[in-house]
Amino acid sequence: MSEQPAHPTSDTTHRLAEPAPPCAIVIFGASGDLTHRLLMPALYNLSRWKLLPDKMAILGIGRTDMDSKELREDFTKTIEGFVADKTAEFSVDKIDQDAWSRVVNTIEYVDGDISDPKLYDEIKAEIDKFSKKGVGCNVLFYLAVAAKLFGPVVVNLAKAGLMKEEDNYWRRVIIEKPFGHDYQSAVALDKQILEVVSESQVFRIDHFLGKETVQNIMALRFGNGFFEPIWNRDHVDHVQITVSETVGVEKRGSFYEATGALRDMVPNHLFQLFTLTAMEPPASFDADAVRDRKEDALRATHHMSREDAQRFAVRGQYTRGKVRDKDVNDYRAEPDVDPKSQTETYVALRLTIDNWRWAGVPFYLRTGKSMAKRKTEIAIRFKQAPLSIFKDTPVDEPIDNWLILNIQPDEGITWQFGAKVPGPHVQLEAVNMKFSYKDFFKVQPSTGYETLIYDAMYGDATLFQRADNIEEGWKIVQPLLDTWKAGKPPLAMYEAGSAGPKEADELLARDGRKWRPL
């Protein structure tokens, strides 16, 4: 028997890729939580995987009064803190000091008001210094700032000439979510940004798309001959997409009151999972080819009327309870939350797609805070097999057949099917066949931002959202925003630590179905 090849690890896989081209990375909001918690660990990983440019510079922009040395020390303290914190999204046993040095030693800092044009003159001067040191003129701007600042920052960058591309160098901007507050604001933001830069320069990031299992949806569907032929209404009964969180609103009461679960999660995270599951095969993995098919899926999604919004959607809010044996406050008792708040912390939707592949197949989406378990998964339920062959046996109902794409916390894929129980009688029992990424590929700790930052430096927009994708997603949820603003339907309360409100169970029960247990 021939020797089997060793399972690839994330380190060996990344060595197959080349380092990104020389560039400067300018981070607005450098002193903020996102930069410390996710961006710096992602850059550290890229350094460890030898994927950062050989010539690179990082410029932090913020309002905090500090110098470059203090920021470097602050980042180092944060990175070292991940060794001890096993609950963080990024956690390691030790820090590779050489890899971290390649990042931290490139960092400079400029403090100032991002609404002040003089700040952009300083940024330009720093970029010129980097260029003279051999870094080159390629610049990636990262907006880790409040959403209300996205448009003004891009406009100010353009006015200062910092987004102008010439002599074969590029200028790109990564914009975090939320991209807009509703359909009208998303359209207005796109208009404001695209008046001063081109679509090819804008990278709207959703870190869900950096997760290996999310990227693997297309590989699973289109790289295997046995999935795609059954990925349609002839074989699929329904699809469930779940993004449940055990954390509550914590210290973000003022943000969450103005946002809510629908705006925070559905037009971005859940719709990314939804479109990757529902899209038609693209002609290639070119960015626009993929995003065109995702746009088709959104355009074919049935838009709810005001009546539909009350019938096919549930909005909930958590009350006092226990999550992992810890007491959790009522949402309305959280800091900076209105005692009479009507903000939803839970959403469940029933969506349908009006095309040949999915006509008649409901997609159920749910997301919530302070729930029983942290879980993100796409669960595809297949139609039941006929039972005629089992007549005159104890088998009186078929086994549910599921294909489950586990996205977090344990990335992998599970098949559930029926098998005969050993013994003299014909009895069926559900069994699971499971593939785990961490067992097969020996996956290294990551934040999900590594692939996205690397792709942005290379100009590959496949895993980023295009303007029309964003706007179409908001168009689908706009009737819900309008209806809920009018107080209909009333909030469905659910106990913290539960699987959500009973009204969400009723949403599926009307179709003769039920949610998979958390």
Q: Are the CB atoms for 256 and 343 separated by under 8 Å?
A: yes
The strand pair at 23-28 and 56-62 is best described as parallel
- The confidence score (pLDDT) of residue 62 equals 94
- Within 8 A by CB and 6+ apart from 436, the residues are 410, 411, 412
Domain ranges of the chain: 10-176, 209-455+466-509
Q: List the structure tokens of 233.
A: 């209404």
- Residue 12, pLDDT score: 41
* Three-class HEC string of 219-274: HHHHCCCCCHHHCCCCCEEEEEEEEECCCCCCCCHHHHHHHHHHHHHHHHHHHHHH
Strand extents, DSSP E, 55-207: 56-62, 107-111, 139-143, 171-175, 202-204
The confidence score (pLDDT) of residue 497 equals 96
Write down the catalytic residue from 14, 207, 238, 269: 269
| Full pLDDT tens readout for the chain, 518 residues | 334 334 444 444 444 578 999 999 999 999 998 999 899 999 999 999 999 999 999 999 999 999 999 999 999 998 888 876 655 566 677 888 999 999 999 999 999 999 999 999 999 999 999 998 888 899 999 999 988 999 999 999 999 999 999 888 999 999 988 899 999 999 999 999 999 999 999 999 987 777 766 777 888 889 898 889 999 999 999 999 999 999 998 888 888 998 999 999 999 899 999 999 999 999 988 889 999 999 999 999 999 998 999 999 999 999 999 998 899 999 999 999 999 999 999 999 999 999 999 999 999 999 999 999 999 999 999 998 776 555 666 656 677 889 999 988 888 899 987 766 676 676 666 778 898 877 877 666 677 889 999 999 999 998 899 999 999 999 999 999 999 998 888 999 999 999 999 999 999 999 999 999 99
pLDDT of residue 136: 86
CATH class of the domain at 10-176: alpha beta
Tokens of residue 250, six digits: 């914590």
Residue type, 417: F
pLDDT given for residue 301 in this prediction: 97
pLDDT at 94: 83
- Round to whole Å and give the CA distance between 480 and 262: 9
| Pairing between β-strand 139-143 and β-strand 171-175 as defined by DSSP bridges | parallel
Per DSSP, the three-state class of 276 is helix
181 is catalytic: no
Residue 134 confidence (pLDDT): 86
**Is 3.30.360.10 the CATH classification of the domain at 209-455+466-509?**
yes
